[in-house]
Amino acid sequence: MIDVLSGVALITDPGTIIWIMFGVCFGIILGAIPGLTATMGIALMLPVAIQLTTATGMAMLLAVYSGAIIGASIPAILLGIPGNPNAIATVYDGYPLTQQGRGAEALIAATVGSFVGGIGSLLLLGLFAPLIARFTLRFGPAERAALALVGLTIIASVSERRVAKGLLMGAFGLSLAFLGPDRITQTMRLPFPSITTGTPLANGIQLVPALIGLFGISQALYDIDRVRSGRLTPPQVSLRGSIPKPRIFLKMWRLMVESLGIGTFIGAIPGAGASIAVFLSYQRAQRTAPANAASDAPELGSGALEGVVAPEVANNACKGGSLIPALSLGIPGDAATAVLLGALLIKGVVPGPQLFVDELPLVYAILFALLLANIFMVVFQVVGIRFFPKVLSIPIYILLPLILVFSLLGSYAVEGRAIMAASFNMGVALILGVVGYFLKKHDYPIAPIVLGLILGDMLEQNFRRAMRLARGDYTVFLRSPIALAFILLAIASIAYSVRRARRAKAAAGEDDEE
């Protein structure tokens, strides 16, 4: 108990609280600009954090982290641009809501989801960190390859009835992921190697520019025919009178708990990443929503609040999850926590099991800072929600060029200190933007491309690594209980999707393509 109190005392001075508020604000602004990621924000603030005391510095960095994740949901919901990988799945229902004039409602849902995810994962982190961390260590190459396989089965559920098209798009995403170096043997996989060697393509296609292109730029191109009507979306309903009732969110408790578990757990597996978690939780939302919603509730993908809440719970839970191996094992769960660990190391604090023994007050200070950051995050969001949708009342002839410029500059900013690589990323975003535009026109699902791109590297590397460690024995995937469970889950998931597609087809008596 004394540790808890001394931990709280470490960060309850006014200076620290102001730093946390500043961090959340900075993070929200940063996250709201497409292309600027949490990792970048933390790295940016690293020199400042080093000047502060360890607890204050960590509190500020965590605040930036929290702010950046909720910030990313704003452009995802209002403009349909997921500025960073955390917000990919938020787009599917967030943007349709905005198109129905319910942007503010979606933002509220995102805030609720974020808060639940943030606080929930915080509790899990505080109570079970060493336990979860030890369990995630059982994830070796075979288990991770199987997890990637589960991730790929999401293709079926995000492509709805267009299974063949979805599969094609997923493979297209994989094909993009395989460009660049093969990270096992360092073989360069470049088309026209005489031209492309030594260019930024040698580092492969980066996820964030691809996201911005496929979602942001393609949507903007798609919206050009609205230029004459003068408006991008219908007028947004003002918040007053349209605040979703708490009951609606209480009804989603199961979904929230599931997303929380998915987020925290995936976040805790080093190298898995929030983007898988948000898709998995979205898939859960898809499957549980019809059961607990009224029959006239909108289908997932056409503006259901569940579709916003689930991924937002998951991506915030990931944030807490990724701190689990970081603090208890000293292994960063993702790039952002790697920088956080760096900050600790610079201050002479060695993360790992000893941290929970030697530096317990600091651990509690970190947990408490995260709690404060989550609270400020909600406060700022609630204030901001009145103003954010105002962006949409800008005349379209100004807004559309702005979206395009922000999309390109955002893809540039991902590697914004490297001018060559950054300019190349703008090209990637533009080309995929045009591709995405044609795909939209021809009714091809876009999400599978992103899934392929995210999972390609994870699947290939871990599959090959597992094969090598097992000396060519394929049964390694069946001998590991975790891997086996995942493979069965993948099969079940495909079977479910196929059945659902058949039913939907039968029910509609289809005139549709697939």
Partner 1 sequence: MRKVFVVLIIMFVVPAMVYAAGPPETEWPDPDETITVVVPFGAGGGTDLIFRELVEEMNNHTEAEIIVDNIGGAGSATGTNEVLSLPADGYTVLASGAHTVTATLQGLTEGYRELEGIIGLNWDPFIVAVHRDSPWESFDELLADAADDPEALSFGNAGMGGATGVLTVGMNLHFDGVFNVTPFDGGADLIANFLGQHVDIGVFSQTEVAEHMNDMRPLMIVHPERSTIPELSDVPTYEDAGYSDLDVPFGSYRSLSVRAGTPADRKEALADIATQAFESERFQDYMRRQGLLPEYSRLGELDEYFQELEDLFYPILEAADLLDD
Partner 2 sequence: MPLVWLAFSIAYLVFSLSIEERRMPGGDWDPGSTALPVATAVVMIACSLYLTLKEYLTNREREKAAAPGDRRAAAPQTKPRRGAPAHSRSETAADPRATLRLSMLTVAVLAIYVAGFRQLGFVLTTSALLFTLTYYYQLGDVRLRAVHVLLRHGGLGVLATMVVFYLGVTALRWSRYFGRIWEVEILRNRAFTAFLGVLLWAAVLLPVFLYVKRRYLDGVPREAEQAQERGPSEINERGVVYRAAAWRALMIAVPTTLLLYLVFQQLFRVALPLGVLA
Which residue type sits at 229?
A: S
Q: Do the strands 180-181 and 188-189 form a parallel or antiparallel pair, or are they unpaired?
A: antiparallel
Taking the least distance from each CB to partner 2, the nearer of 158 and 344 is 158
Judged by beta carbon distances under 5 to 8 A according to partner kind, the member of partner 2, partner 1, none in contact with residue 285 is none
By CB under 8 A, residue 51 contacts partner 2: no
**Conformation bin of residue 273: beta by default, left when phi > 0, alpha when psi is -120 to 50:** left
Site size for partner 1 (CB under 8 A): 54
Options 179-187, 203-211, 254-262, 328-336: segment touching partner 2 (CB under 8 A): 179-187
CA distance 7 to 54: 12
For residue 378, give both structure tokens. 């909600």
Residues 365-394 that bind partner 2 (CB under 8 A): none
In whole angstroms, what is the distance from residue 64 CA to residue 182 CA?
A: 34
Question: Where does this chain touch partner 2 (CB under 8 A) — which range of 53-61, 121-129, 135-143, 221-229?
Answer: 221-229
Question: Closer to partner 1 at the Cβ: 51 or 295?
Answer: 51
CA atoms within 13 A on the CB side of 296: 0
Span 345-374, contacts to partner 1 by CB under 8 A: 345-346, 350-354
CB of 41 to partner 2, least distance (A): 8
Among 130, 244, 271, 298, binds partner 1 (CB under 8 A): 271
Sequence length of the chain is 514
* Least distance (Å) between residue 412 CB and partner 2: 7
Q: State how far the Cα of 317 lies from the Cα of 113, in Å rounded to an integer.
A: 10
Number of C-beta neighbours around residue 62 at 10 A:
27
Cα 60–chain centre separation: 21
Helices 141-158 and 163-177, packing angle to 10 deg: 140
User: Which residues within the stretch 33-62 sit at the binding site for partner 1 (CB under 8 A)?
Assistant: 39, 42-43, 46-47
For partner 1, what does the binding mask look like between residues 113 and 142, x meaning CB under 8 A?
Answer: -----------------------xxxxxx-
Among 350, 419, 488, 495, binds partner 2 (CB under 8 A): 419
Using the rule CB under 8 A, is 329 a contact of partner 1? Answer: yes
CB 366 within 8 A of CB 14: no
Contact flag: residue 144 with partner 2 (CB under 8 A): no
3-state secondary structure of 181: strand
The H-or-E segment that residue 189 falls in is strand 188-189
What part of residues 450-489 is at the interface with partner 1 (CB under 8 A)? 461, 465, 468-469, 471
Beta carbons of 43 and 61 less than 8 angstroms apart: no
Q: Which of 6, 53, 99, 203 binds partner 2 (CB under 8 A)?
A: 99
Which of 228, 240, 245, 417 is the binder for partner 1 (CB under 8 A)? 417
172 is an interface residue for partner 2 by CB under 8 A: yes
C-alpha distances out from residue 284 to 158, 180, 273, 300, Å: 11, 33, 18, 11
DSSP conformational letter for 297:
S
When CB distances are held under 5 to 8 angstroms depending on the partner's kind, the choice from partner 1, partner 2, none that residue 152 binds is none
Q: Applying CB under 8 A, which of residues 243, 420, 478, 488 lies at the interface with partner 1?
A: 420
Binder to partner 2 among 460, 483, 490, 497 (CB under 8 A)?
460
